[in-house]
Amino acid sequence: MRRLAAIDAQNYWMSAAIPNNQFLLYGFAGAPTDLDAAVRDVRQRAQCCPELGLRIRDDHRLRYPVWEPRHVGDDQFVVHDLGEPGFDDCLSALTALAGDQLDAARATWRVHVFPRVRDIPAVTGVGTVIVMQTAHALADGGRSADLAGLMFGRPGGVRAVEVPRLVTARLPWRAAQAARWHRVLVRDEEDGRVPRQADSRAALRSNAAPAGAISVRTIVRNRDELGGPTVTVAVLAAVSAALAEHLRELGDDPADLGAEVPMAKAGPRTANNQFGNVGIGLYPTLDRDARIGRIVEDLAQRRRRAQHPAMLAASRAYAATPAPLLRWGVRQFDASLRSPTVTGNTVVSSVNRGAADLRFAGTPVVMTAGYPALSPMMGLTHGVHGIGATVAVSVHAAESAVGDVDAYVARLERALTSR
């Protein structure tokens, strides 16, 4: 049994205070004639992947939790018979699922099947919606997509993560190395060789603690319809326009609007979660072309900074943190505290889930979506997920953060189509 990496253990322990399960939605064009056999087929593929046969054992307060084998079981497959629901009915059911978080000590993932669904985008007639629910300790966005892809017929496997052996005696040396490299980083910032850390931004209405009705919505577009140098940049520019307009109507000044964007870390994977959140400006006062240019520049600066040796040294020092110290740090988190400043006024998480080569009982995948979790300082998040030539732009919002979610989604739809 291998131990959890420090960041994965932190995700596991933090889930008790902030629910952080991921929900990966896949829409398939068609309904299997034998649903039980279709589910058994998915289960058999899951049984062939050791990374899907794990749970967490955390039975020693002085040590990190470990990954423990478990059989893929019936408890990990749930068929939701809603009659003949529409796609929006599935989204409403998904919202309710967020209140039933996984106990990773029992199971780290679960598959929810919604058969005979009408109005799935790009599907004529009825189709099937499948939602894969995963504990964040098991995988980040890219890795969870790889696990789901394997379950739905993508060839290949998902490699186990090689977590370095923990030698806590190295912590003082690694901390000293991190401090030395931090001094180099400061000099490089002053000389202009590396971008400075992104500025914090004033919290706005969208940063309200989630309260009232919680809603999810999904807009589906062809990749070519979005324009922009990349899908992520095109959606960030659209979110800028839509959210700024919406916040102005709610009485906020969005001139300094920014987004928190998860960014994958380079190098060999040493943890199930290998990414960092960066802050970028959204520049809503600029025209679309100028706004896109500034967003591209901000993302490039965040990547340059992430590649500085000081960032790697800091990560190595964190990875050597003794388990009792990290546990103590997580226990200090107080979800009720509010901050006047934030990394971003919304989250925009973007993952390309690969080719449209997935199947459920022979029916092809037509779209995929995801809904980043809300948190005490983030009442509005966006997911950008592509499969094949189809991109889904999703909104996860609390009433306290946006008021009328449908009014905001209508603005976002207009922004996505305006060039």
Point out which residues pair with 27 in neighbouring strands.
129, 367
What are the mean pLDDT values of the chain's consecutive 10-residue runs (419 residues total)? 94 94 97 96 96 96 95 96 92 93 97 96 94 97 96 89 76 87 92 92 97 97 94 98 98 97 90 95 97 97 93 89 94 93 98 97 96 96 97 98 98 91
Predicted confidence at residue 391, as pLDDT, reads: 98
Predicted confidence at residue 167, as pLDDT, reads: 66
- Vertex 383, ends 124 and 419: CA angle to 5°? 80
Predicted confidence at residue 233, as pLDDT, reads: 98
The ranges assigned to domains in the chain are 2-152, 170-346+391-417
CB contact at 8 A, 394 and 218: yes
Residues 6+ apart with CB under 8 A from 45: 150, 151, 152, 153
Q: For 171-189, write each residue's pLDDT tens digit.
A: 788 889 999 999 999 999 9
Predicted confidence at residue 273, as pLDDT, reads: 96
* pTM for the full predicted model: 0.95
Predicted confidence at residue 267, as pLDDT, reads: 81
Predicted confidence at residue 268, as pLDDT, reads: 84
Query: From CA 181, how far away is CA 334, in angstroms rounded?
Result: 31
Predicted confidence at residue 119, as pLDDT, reads: 95
What fold characterizes domain 2-152? Chloramphenicol Acetyltransferase (3.30.559)
Predicted confidence at residue 174, as pLDDT, reads: 85
Predicted confidence at residue 272, as pLDDT, reads: 96
Predicted confidence at residue 163, as pLDDT, reads: 86
Predicted confidence at residue 241, as pLDDT, reads: 98
Residues 6+ apart with CB under 8 A from 166: 3, 64, 319, 320
Predicted confidence at residue 169, as pLDDT, reads: 67
